[in-house]
Structure 1
């Protein structure tokens, strides 16, 4: 049998195991819209937009089911998951495809520690791995680059990149700390994470909170309660102790749109239905999104996520 077809059989078995994992823990599976007039604006993700009348009222293929799933949590569901198609413009490569499969879940009552434990258990169940190592964002930068990501200036981060021979893009915004942190993380830290067993990176800089809550640690450092899972140098999942403050989220998303416009990209409509639901009350919860194609790739030993898709950007006309 063709290797790709064998991979698809293995993919189906992993999907069966994944659903059993959630059902055994009393989650319910939900389906939310792939196409919506609303979207969550993100700085580094470009949505796919469709127009209903060619000039106005765009609709977006969803990059994530997040906004609709959080609305369901706000309406009273407590433990939900979804296996869905997600869409992001301009993404292509060994670990990217414009259309891909995302597994996303939310459980009311969970904080960041509970969210990390749940993600770790899922990884162990599907990949047969040992328990994940947990390392803070600060510990990773200190141990691998000898620099503090929370206090270093843009200049210090730039010098660190030069010292570690990181290739610096010609259009690098030299005074943007987060861009320097992202560059150092991608070039010198991520490739070393989870090489022997999965690693969960947590407590991101407060400036990179996205939709996560902020917390102040014992040393006075303010961090985002955000966590990411890496295995064999590949980022598999991104999770949050979810922000529940509607006004704070509106402010963050407005700021994202300001950055998008400064980068000569379109501002995106705010998810007013999610903001309204949060005003009525979003329970304390943890949520996480996992790239299923990447997980399958690692499980079967494939070299690219395209190898474990029935069809992808390169072969979808075949």
Structure 2
């Protein structure tokens, strides 16, 4: 669920940043010591307690699902960490297993089995992600609400943020509105040439793609590098109704009188220029989900990425019947950064990548 693409600048700087930080750390104190101070550890404990209290009062069940899976996230921008299990029930050469990038697939299997509303505070893993706001292992709060659409779930996220961070009611802007406000364009009618020009002005020139894929790359870059830093400076900002090309695991709403384009029923939440959460009105159609997985795998192959197996268990669960629902994933470490006014994710982690 948490599918934020790394922005170009952070990807470029993360290696240099981590090296400098490590060098400074070694000079100043013993590297065996935790990076986060006691205040941060206590704040995390209280934050987790507050989250659990919120969902207990609303009758949402806390669940736990495996970190390991025989399937991986197929999205081209997500890279799973891999391990091999050797032992009973494994083939002679061992069983390849992937560390979860999100608990989404397993939680949807619970929903299909009749769990009702559920949440999980999960440890998740992303290969290749390290920087000011990224660590390859991090904590994700993910929850699902049968009977909700993405708009109803936005309301619940807003309430949770107000309780945890003391924020006022969030601002709502459609994807179309936010591009018009900050770039002065209609994102659905602007030409690929216009998007390329705007991205090039911001320093982006490398697109090894064409057609719709190149267009989506330009849109992602402009959102991450131009628009995102300006969002949610005073209160949370919810961006909703994305282009159908950026649906990921969300439903697509067909064209209507209010919009002549199909729209992905999903949202993202920003505060102080930082993405906090990513939510969907969940896709329930097994046939369409299989097609999207297949399209992801084609893109991975074209990009020279490793081939990964589809999640056959998720597809079987969808065939059985996933209840109409909405789901969202929210970064707990980033919540803590905002609570403590921390500039770097390392400041709120006991042992980030540079100390393991």
Query: TM-score under structure 2 normalisation?
Result: 0.85
Q: Does 1:34 find its partner at 2:67?
A: yes
Q: Does 1:263 find its partner at 2:299?
A: no
Q: Distance in 2 between the 1:256 and 1:60 partners?
A: 17
Q: Does 1:274 find its partner at 2:314?
A: yes
**CA shift for structure 1 position 118:** 0.9
Q: Provide the residue aligned with 1:111 in structure 2.
A: 149
Q: 1:160 aligns with which of 183, 186, 198?
A: 198
**CA shift for structure 1 position 3:** 6.9
**CA shift for structure 1 position 151:** 2.7
The farther-off stretch of 283-292 and 46-55 is 46-55
Q: Provide the residue aligned with 2:323 in structure 1.
A: 283
Q: Distance in 2 between the 1:219 and 1:248 partners?
A: 23
Q: Provide the residue aligned with 2:51 in structure 1.
A: 18
Q: Provide the residue aligned with 1:9 in structure 2.
A: 42
Q: Provide the residue aligned with 1:61 in structure 2.
A: 99
Q: Provide the residue aligned with 1:249 in structure 2.
A: 289
Change (3 A) 1:62 1:193: same
Over the aligned positions, Cα root-mean-square deviation in angstroms equals: 1.5
Q: Distance in 1 between the 2:308 and 2:328 partners?
A: 23
Q: 8 Å contact 2:250–2:265 — kept in the other structure?
A: yes
Q: Distance in 2 between the 1:146 and 1:170 partners?
A: 23
Q: Give the gaps of 5 or more residues in structure 1.
A: none
Q: Does 1:127 find its partner at 2:165?
A: yes
Q: Secondary structure at the match of 2:355?
A: coil
Q: 8 Å contact 2:207–2:217 — kept in the other structure?
A: no
Q: 8 Å contact 2:36–2:348 — kept in the other structure?
A: no
Highest RCO, 1 vs 2 (Cα 8 Å, sep ≥ 6): 2
CA displacement 1:42-85 (0-9 Å, x = unmatched): 12110001123596641000000000000101110111000010
Q: Distance in 1 between the 2:288 and 2:319 partners?
A: 11
Change (3 A) 1:243 1:63: same
Q: 8 Å contact 1:40–1:67 — kept in the other structure?
A: no
Q: Provide the residue aligned with 2:16 in structure 1.
A: none
Q: Distance in 1 between the 2:335 and 2:283 partners?
A: 27
Q: Provide the residue aligned with 2:26 in structure 1.
A: none
Q: Distance in 2 between the 1:170 and 1:219 partners?
A: 32
Change (3 A) 1:44 1:97: same
Q: Provide the residue aligned with 2:130 in structure 1.
A: 92
Q: Provide the residue aligned with 2:5 in structure 1.
A: none
Paired positions, count: 313
- Equivalent positions of 1:169-318 (< 5 A) are 169-171=205-207, 173=209, 175=211, 176-215=214-253, 216-217=255-256, 218-316=258-356
Q: Distance in 1 between the 2:104 and 2:224 partners?
A: 25
The farther-off stretch of 245-254 and 307-316 is 307-316
**CA shift for structure 1 position 135:** 0.4
Q: Distance in 2 between the 1:158 and 1:167 partners?
A: 10
Q: Distance in 1 between the 2:205 and 2:137 partners?
A: 27
Q: Distance in 2 between the 1:211 and 1:99 partners?
A: 22
Q: Secondary structure at the match of 1:314?
A: helix
Q: 2:80 aligns with which of 47, 54, 59?
A: 47
**CA shift for structure 1 position 244:** 0.4
CA displacement 1:187-211 (0-9 Å, x = unmatched): 1100011011110011111001000
Q: Give the gaps of 5 or more residues in structure 2.
A: 1-34, 87-91
